[in-house]
Amino acid sequence: MLLKTMVYKKQDLTTVNETNTLAEALEILEESGYRCVPILDKSCKIFRGNIYKMHIYRHKANGGDMTLPVTYLLKNATKFIHVTDSFFHVFFTIKELPYIAVLDYDNQFYGILTHSSLLNMLAQSWSIEDGSYVLTIASTGKQGDLAAISKIISKYSNIASCITLDVGKDEFIRRTLITLPSGTSLELRDKIIAQLENKQFKVVEIEDLNA
């Protein structure tokens, strides 16, 4: 599935074991250069949580015992997703985390999904490399609007990508971002815009991806 293609697998990651001390975890973090890494159980199969460099340093600065187990400062124990989870669940679960742990079908640690991987996937869905213009089209959001917009554009051009924003934010306005394919001329773009606006679909913004 799509999620699996974006996950950094366990064997390629830096992790700490629940048997490690805070001092050992800090050394692993310093050597890796990461600010946060997963904590796994003794079998290296079960995700226990995350350990953050800043929490260890804060503990150390306050005279804390560095021989305590790394689980003493464990965070995000319940912050994980499964490889079968939907995109929307993943998107809203990761939020402020630098990454989120991914579990397999047996609830064992599979790897991590990073913020950057998710953003790269969203950038690809925008078809930046294969597009020419992005039209932001305002509509009322009533049933059939998207089909009507697509039908108008499809008379003149293929659609490289389509993203709808503001769903649930405003009862009366929906913004649909349509990316026209590369090679679309300025004249064709303007013709499409004219046809959309003739059908009461307002093109509120035009972005030139070649600019």
133 touches 207 (CB < 8 A): yes
Q: Which domain CATH number covers 41?
A: 3.10.580.10
Collapsed DSSP state (helix, strand, coil) of residue 44: coil
What is the Cα–Cα distance from 49 to 35, expressed in whole angstroms?
14
In this structure, the answer to whether residues 194 and 135 fall within a common structural domain is: yes
Name the residue range of residue 167's domain.
127-208
Confidence (pLDDT) at 27? 97
Write down which residue in 75, 90, 121 finishes a domain.
121
In this prediction, residue 163 carries a pLDDT of 85
Quote the number of domains for the chain.
2
For position 93, what pLDDT does the model report?
A: 83
Indicate whether 92 pLDDT > 90: no
- CA distances to 62, 94, 141, 154, 192 from 107, in Å: 36, 18, 40, 45, 50
Residue 128's pLDDT band (cuts 50, 70, 90):
low
Question: If you average pLDDT over residues 110-126, what whole number do you get?
Answer: 81
pLDDT (mean) for 35-46: 97
Type of residue numbered 172: F
- Average pLDDT of the chain is 90
* Same domain flag for 84 and 177: no
Q: Please state, in angstroms and as integers, the Cα–Cα distance from residue 17 to each residue in 14, 122, 177, following that order.
A: 10, 33, 45
DSSP string of 49-88?
EEEEHHHHHHHHHTT--TTSBGGGG-B-TT-EEETT--HH
Residues 144 and 177 in one domain: yes
